Amino acid sequence: MKKIALVGCTGSIGKQTAETVRRYPNEFAFSSLVCGNDENALAAMNAEFRPAYACCAAKEAPDLQRIFEDCDVALIAAGGFAGLSYTLAAVRAGKRIALANKESLVCGGELVLREAEKYGAEIVPVDSEHSAIFQALSFRRDTRFARLVLTASGGPFLHCTEEELACMTAKDALRHPTWNMGAKITVDSATLLNKGYEVIEAKWLYGAGYEQIEAVVHPESIVHSLVYFEDGAAIAQLGYPDMRVPIQLALTYPERLPCCEQLDLARIGALHFERLPREKFPCFDLALRAGKEGGTCPALLNAAGETAVQAFLQGRISFLNIAETIEDALNAIPRSDADCYEAISSADATARERARKLIYGK
């Protein structure tokens, strides 16, 4: 029986994790459940799964030690920058961390990895692309590879003209063609900021240089990512787009349990790949720029991005304003080292304030 501490239990990944636990009651149980603000959903899960500890972060400050003290796996599915403090607490408890919170590595990659080494914690990716790479590397981070290729569905606006992009609303952005995800990440998929985040995550997870990581558009979302090796061989992981597979695998690996339908290749027919249209979606290059500049730059990128996406979802700014808000923060705020939580958190606050001023004029 594996005991899971689930942070972000009422979000999209959290609910799908609960489905896995429901399906395998003899394999998994929740030792703790933490949600952001959906108290009612937490109460229902609490009644069903009876964890030793449950907390709604909007109501009371979560006890970071208690969340992780009794678990075998910490699944961090909290959204946004808030996820970093949970990831750090789980790392310092020396746990296996099934990481679904991108911001932990985007903003705090250097710190999280250093602490993981110190405390003997293990980071297992939940994101479908990084899970695919992990599988292609036979679950071994020391496997030598030449290049990593992240696939991208391209989001709902892939073939829009720039004029069309300027008019896109939150409702349009939330119609993702293949994956069923939360609102924030769905908008990040439409801007390709999400793919930029994933490049930064891949750098930290697999010790790859930025020149070794690329992204390619694959509209069917069947090939979840690939690893190229020195001899020219490439290994990919394929499957229907279903987050339950990487979630479950992060909990069970190297073992596997039945999860979803197997591919019917003849029914799928053709798979397509095309170049990432970087010039139309500047958020991708902004993410790479921040990643390469390093230090607190990715935290600035993320904070400005979160603020802008929230404003976009509320109809306050246009789709194209999202990239402009991020670029403004990166240009205006100086980089500093990201070697402790305080430095990262302070960069986060500075970029949020600047982005808010730009968007709301105050």
Among residues 201 and 328, whose Cβ is nearest to Mg ion? 201
Q: Where are the beta strands (DSSP E) in 71-212?
A: 73-76, 96-99, 122-125, 147-152
Nearer to Mg ion, 128 or 325 (CB): 128
Stretch that binds Mg ion, among 127-135, 231-239, 243-251, 347-355 (CB under 5 A): 127-135
Any residues with CB less than 8 A from the CB of 61 and at least 6 apart, and which?
none
Q: Closest by alpha carbon to 112, among 81, 138, 143?
A: 81
For tokens 């390709």, the residue is 192
What would the DSSP string read from start to end of 124-148?
EE-SHHHHHHHHHTTT-TT---SEE
Instruction: Please say which residue, 127 or 306, places its beta carbon nearer to Mg ion.
Output: 127
188 touching Mg ion, by CB under 5 A: no
The smaller minimum CB distance to Mg ion, of residues 51 and 239, is found at 239
Closest Cα to residue 94, out of 121, 75, 72?
Answer: 121
Q: Which is nearer to Mg ion, 128 or 237 (CB)?
A: 128
**Shortest reach from residue 331's CB to Mg ion, in Å:** 28
Cα separations in angstroms, 66 against 7, 13, 38, 79, 162 = 12, 22, 20, 20, 49
Part in contact with Mg ion (CB under 5 A); list of ranges 124-132, 163-171, 200-208, 332-340: 124-132
User: Cβ(197)–Cβ(102) under 8 Å?
Assistant: yes
* Dist. CA 45–CA 54, nearest whole Å: 9
- Binding flag, residue 127, Mg ion (CB under 5 A): yes
List binders of Mg ion among 257-316 (CB under 5 A): none
Nearest approach in angstroms of CB 128 to Mg ion is 5
Shortest distance (Å) from residue 131 CB to Mg ion: 9
State how far the Cα of 189 lies from the Cα of 293, in Å rounded to an integer: 23
We find the least distance from the C-beta atom of residue 194 to Mg ion, in angstroms, to be 6
Beta carbon nearer to Mg ion, 110 or 127: 127
Of 120-128, 168-176, 249-257, 317-325, which segment contacts Mg ion by CB under 5 A? 120-128
Judged by CB under 5 A, the number of residues near Mg ion is 3
- Nearer to Mg ion by Cβ, of 188 and 348: the residue is 188
Q: Which of residues 60-79 bind Mg ion (CB under 5 A)?
A: none
Provide the minimum distance between the beta carbon of 85 and Mg ion in the complex, in angstroms, as a whole number.
Answer: 22
The verdict on 103 binding Mg ion (CB under 5 A) reads: no
For residues 173 and 188, give the distance between their C-alpha atoms in angstroms, rounded to a whole number.
Answer: 9
**Separation between Cα atoms, residue 157 and residue 150, nearest integer Å:** 19
- Measured distance CA(270)–CA(262) in Å, rounded: 17
| Residues in touch with Mg ion (CB under 5 A) | 127-129
